[in-house]
Amino acid sequence: PLGTMNLLHSASIVRCAIYTRTAAVESSEQSIRAQLAICEDIVTANSLGGWEVRHHFCDNGESGATQQRPGMQALLQAVGEGLIDVVIAPDLARISRSVPDLIAFLNTMAKHGARLVSATDSMHYRMPVVAVLLPVLVGLAQIEPGQH
């Protein structure tokens, strides 16, 4: 899987941000810790490539139906300020459950030279190929039981 490969072979630092989210406040602490651990494993696997966690953005008890979440807005601001090279999320559903919002998110990332890595999907998302795959992936995420 991509998560176990050293994707970058330079000595430069790759500034990573981890984004986690839960929709249900009741299970948030345990879920956030599990999501964080999965994402940190990706960074560890790529540490020889210079990957370092610089930020952790989190939305507890927030729906993925909108991008208007405090942690998401802070993440987008940091990306816009050029502080992040790679955003790591446990899966696409943590970023958004909306195809247009995900495409807008990825366009913002591309505009600022950043990319998204989905830990459990073992994929690196870049435009424009993602525009073709994204509706299918979001659709699958929406039908998985217990995901919010």
Q: How confident is the model at residue 78 (pLDDT cuts 50, 70, 90)?
A: very high
Lowest mean pLDDT among 2-11, 43-52, 69-78, 97-106: 2-11
What pLDDT shows up at residue 129? 53
Q: Which residues pair with 116 in a beta bridge?
A: 87, 125
User: Could you read off the pLDDT of 55-70 as tens digits, one per residue?
Assistant: 999 998 888 888 999 9
Mean of the per-residue pLDDT values of the chain: 81
pLDDT at 147 over 50: no
- Determine the average pLDDT of the residues in 90-103: 86
What pLDDT shows up at residue 15? 97
Q: What is the SS3 assignment for 111?
A: helix
The pLDDT > 70 percentage for the chain reads 72
Q: What is the SS3 assignment for 5?
A: coil
Cα 117 from Cα 43, distance rounded (Å): 10
What pLDDT shows up at residue 138? 59
Select from 55, 37, 56, 41 the least CA-distant residue to 5: 41
What six digits make up the tokens of 122? 């073992």
Q: Are 18 and 56 in contact (CB under 8 A)?
A: yes
Higher-confidence residue of 17 and 5: namely 17
User: Could you read off the pLDDT of 14-34 as tens digits, one per residue?
Assistant: 999 999 999 877 666 778 999
Cα 128 from Cα 70, distance rounded (Å): 27
